[in-house]
A and B are shown apart, each in its own frame.
Chain A
Amino acid sequence: MFYGLSTIYSVFLWRKGFRRDDWVNYLLIAGGVALHTLAMTKRGLTLQSCPVNNLYEATTFLLWALGLASLVYSLLPRFKFLAAFTAPVLFTIGVFALMPSLDPPHGPKPEFSGALRSLHAATSLQAYGAFGLAAVAAGMLLMQRHDLKFNKLRAMLSLLPSMQRLELITFRLVAAGFGLLTIGLIAGQQLPRPEGKPYFSDTKVIWSALLWLVYLESLMAYKFFGRSSRRFALVTIIAFAVLLLTFWITNLNSPMHQP
């Protein structure tokens, strides 16, 4: 509900050109994240493990990581509107997570247990959260770029950060996500798997490795081969959109993740 209200409020902020620097949206997302944390803690305590055991839990964990990161980054000067850009993403993923089929009842023992599994799941999902926030910052960057390029007054009147700053934040978030995904993949490789089944034969692992390659290429091209900030931002947004659209499908088709 909080994410929904924040989305509605974000539309008003957008219509007004992000001119007034207020805390309403930030507080709405903070309220949502606080309740979200409470719900996840309760579920984690019930399961006695990190609550990332099925698709619903994985999705809400991703949502939580995204919400929390947006709250932290919103504290940077002129980044308060990051919450306004994140709200629609949070709301969309949140509505999707409510599908009952994503949350089947747990057996007597959760499928996922143990520190390494928790580490694998948590770092991978936090990586997706970082990629999500990078996509949000990239969206802000493209909007600023478009407004400045086409001499729109909104670029001047809005209280958004400078383009260079948005570019730096996008890069850092993608780099952080990439690092977390690398840890997640390495931790996943150490986990026990069905006899004779190689790690890179699972749909979800292949998907994650492809994702890893896409982000590696994007980071390298931007940092060392002069890829423009516009292209970097576009790749960041498209990669996260593909991630969101294929996350559930690959999860459902992965024997390792849906035993």
Chain B
Amino acid sequence: MSVVVIGLSHRSSPVALRERFAFAGETIPHALASLRASLATEAVILSTCNRVEVYAVTTLAPEAAVAELKKFLLAHHAYDGALGDELYAFAEPHSLHHLFKVASGLDSMVIGETEIFGQLKAAYELAFTHKHTGARLNKAFQRAFNVAKHIRTETNIQRGSVSVMSAAVELAEKIFSSLAEHEVLVIGAGETSEKTARALLSRGARGVVVTNRSPERATALAAELGGRAVPFAQWPDEFVQIDIAISSTAARDHILDRATLEPLMKRRKHRPLLLIDIAVPRDIDPAVSELDNVYLYNVDDLQSIATEYLNLRKEEVARCEKIIGEKVAALLEANKYAAAR
């Protein structure tokens, strides 16, 4: 008996096909039961927006098991189209290697992301609760979770911000020792600035002030974020107390220039000010960064930080693969030893 996996992921298939094969949460226990009744002794189904995978332990030979699992998937989703490379399948040891990679975020769209770890854990717990797992899958999944934790602590695979929003938050934390003492001003209630403000608030920022040309939109966003709205004409006055400003208006010209900011910095007693300009065309005149204690970042700067972190994570993949190779070999050895006893 060995662990076999069959599935589709963002690497092998477009979203239109993945959604065709997705399992709704409430249907998974039933699907697992029918799998076990027909061909598998143990099974786990993982279904997320980026992948649909069936992990199974069968008494069949790997080729036959893969063929049967494929038949099951097609029949379950009533799919009669052709499938080629979109569907992948692995038998041991590659199936275990794949499971460990998925758990560690190495097979994710954003390398090293941790959301998949939680999703995989939930999928396993669902199968475990309904008694669809046994010794082989229990051991394989427990090891996969341990390996993912080990990789997280021993390598840089999860280090750094790989999105514009999280790069902005990290930037703020490089300047301010704690965000709890600092308020955020959102100029222009766009989607990215809203997400960035939310990210800053989730990291403990003291509060948020929203301003927008449309006062209704400002009030609505302020209410959503638990902050306060100020009229658009009055936002410069807020610079005395805020320390982080996110700007994303649709203005054609700069809304903040050096001449405006210089007296405001005096009123702020030259406390550090982080300006995040995510508007295109830019809202903030680059000349303001010549002022002491003003740190200006535009969308390209943030994107290059995110890209650099992503490259750093890619560099770590080889290290992670090596760890996974060793752990898979150790698991196979343990299985062999257990079978011999």
Q: In the assembly, what is the distance between CA of A144 and CA of B176, in Å?
A: 12
Q: In the assembly, what is the distance between CA of A162 and CA of B171, in Å?
A: 9
Residue B61 is within 8 A (CB to CB) of chain A in the complex: no
A22 to chain B, nearest CB (A): 13
* Chain B positions 294-335 with a Cβ under 8 Å from a chain A Cβ: 295, 297, 301, 304-305, 308-309, 312
Residue B93 is within 8 A (CB to CB) of chain A in the complex: no
> What 1/0 mask marks residues of chain B from 226 to 241 whose CB sits below 8 Å from any chain A CB?
0000000000000000
Which residues on the B side are within 8 Å of A156 (C-beta)?
160-161, 167, 170-171, 174, 305, 308-309
Which residues on the B side are within 8 Å of A164 (C-beta)?
175-177, 272
Which residues on the A side are within 8 Å of B177 (C-beta)?
161-162, 164-165, 168
Which residues on the B side are within 8 Å of A165 (C-beta)?
177
Pairwise interchain contact A226-B270, C-beta atoms closer than 8 A:
yes
Residue A155 is within 8 A (CB to CB) of chain B in the complex: yes
Which residues on the A side are within 8 Å of B176 (C-beta)?
162-164
Can you report 27 A-B residue pairs in the complex whose CB atoms are below 8 A from each other? A19-B156, A148-B171, A148-B175, A148-B295, A149-B289, A153-B304, A153-B305, A153-B308, A156-B160, A156-B167, A156-B174, A156-B308, A157-B160, A157-B308, A162-B175, A163-B175, A163-B176, A163-B272, A164-B177, A164-B272, A226-B269, A226-B270, A228-B292, A228-B293, A229-B272, A229-B293, A230-B292
* Chain A positions 197-221 with a Cβ under 8 Å from a chain B Cβ: none
Which residues on the A side are within 8 Å of B167 (C-beta)?
156
Which residues on the B side are within 8 Å of A163 (C-beta)?
174-176, 272
* Chain A positions 129-163 with a Cβ under 8 Å from a chain B Cβ: 144, 148-149, 151, 153, 155-157, 161-163
Residue of B173, B174, B289, B292 touching A144 (CB-CB under 8 A)? B174
Which residues on the B side are within 8 Å of A226 (C-beta)?
269-270
> What 1/0 mask marks residues of chain B from 140 to 176 whose CB sits below 8 Å from any chain A CB?
0000000000000000100011000001001101111
Q: In the assembly, what is the distance between CA of A144 and CA of B293, in Å?
A: 12
Q: In the assembly, what is the distance between CA of A161 and CA of B177, in Å?
A: 8
- Nearest first, the 6 A-B pairs at minimum CB distance are A164-B177, A165-B177, A162-B177, A151-B301, A226-B269, A153-B308
Residue of B156, B269, B295 touching A149 (CB-CB under 8 A)? B295
Which residues on the B side are within 8 Å of A230 (C-beta)?
292-293
Q: In the assembly, what is the distance between CA of A107 and CA of B304, in Å?
A: 66
Residue on B nearest A155 in the bound complex, by CB? B174
* Chain A positions 71-110 with a Cβ under 8 Å from a chain B Cβ: none
Residue on B nearest A166 in the bound complex, by CB? B177
Max chain B Cβ within 10 angstroms of own Cβ: one of A164, A226, A229, A230 = A164
* Chain B positions 44-63 with a Cβ under 8 Å from a chain A Cβ: none
Q: In the assembly, what is the distance between CA of A228 and CA of B292, in Å?
A: 8
Q: In the assembly, what is the distance between CA of A228 and CA of B312, in Å?
A: 35
Q: In the assembly, what is the distance between CA of A173 and CA of B310, in Å?
A: 38
B63 to chain A, nearest CB (A): 45
Q: In the assembly, what is the distance between CA of A228 and CA of B271, in Å?
A: 8
Which residues on the A side are within 8 Å of B292 (C-beta)?
228, 230
Known: A149-B289, A163-B174, A165-B177. 10 other contacts (CB 8 A): A19-B156, A148-B174, A153-B304, A153-B308, A157-B308, A162-B176, A163-B272, A164-B177, A226-B270, A230-B292
Residue on A nearest B297 in the bound complex, by CB? A151
A149 to chain B, nearest CB (A): 6
Q: In the assembly, what is the distance between CA of A162 and CA of B181, in Å?
A: 14
Q: In the assembly, what is the distance between CA of A230 and CA of B293, in Å?
A: 9
Max chain A Cβ within 10 angstroms of own Cβ: one of B292, B304, B312 = B292
Which residues on the A side are within 8 Å of B304 (C-beta)?
153
Which residues on the A side are within 8 Å of B161 (C-beta)?
156
B263 to chain A, nearest CB (A): 15
Q: In the assembly, what is the distance between CA of A230 and CA of B170, in Å?
A: 22
* Chain B positions 249-272 with a Cβ under 8 Å from a chain A Cβ: 269-270, 272
Which residues on the B side are within 8 Å of A148 (C-beta)?
171, 174-175, 295
Q: In the assembly, what is the distance between CA of A28 and CA of B304, in Å?
A: 36
Which residues on the A side are within 8 Å of B269 (C-beta)?
226
Q: In the assembly, what is the distance between CA of A228 and CA of B173, in Å?
A: 20
Q: In the assembly, what is the distance between CA of A144 and CA of B308, in Å?
A: 18
Residue on A nearest B270 in the bound complex, by CB? A228
Residue on A nearest B172 in the bound complex, by CB? A162
Q: In the assembly, what is the distance between CA of A167 and CA of B252, in Å?
A: 38
Which residues on the B side are within 8 Å of A228 (C-beta)?
270, 292-293
Q: In the assembly, what is the distance between CA of A165 and CA of B178, in Å?
A: 9
Residue on B nearest A168 in the bound complex, by CB? B177
With A151-B297, A153-B308, A156-B305 already in contact, the answer to whether A162 and B174 are too (CB < 8 A) is yes
> What 1/0 mask marks residues of chain B from 178 to 205 whose CB sits below 8 Å from any chain A CB?
0000000000000000000000000000
Q: In the assembly, what is the distance between CA of A212 and CA of B70, in Å?
A: 81
* Chain A positions 156-202 with a Cβ under 8 Å from a chain B Cβ: 156-157, 161-165, 168
Which residues on the A side are within 8 Å of B175 (C-beta)?
148, 162-164
Which residues on the A side are within 8 Å of B309 (C-beta)?
156-157
Residue on B nearest A151 in the bound complex, by CB? B301
B147 to chain A, nearest CB (A): 22
Residue on B nearest A147 in the bound complex, by CB? B174
> What 1/0 mask marks residues of chain B from 265 to 289 whose CB sits below 8 Å from any chain A CB?
0000110100000000000000001
Q: In the assembly, what is the distance between CA of A164 and CA of B176, in Å?
A: 5
Which residues on the B side are within 8 Å of A19 (C-beta)?
156
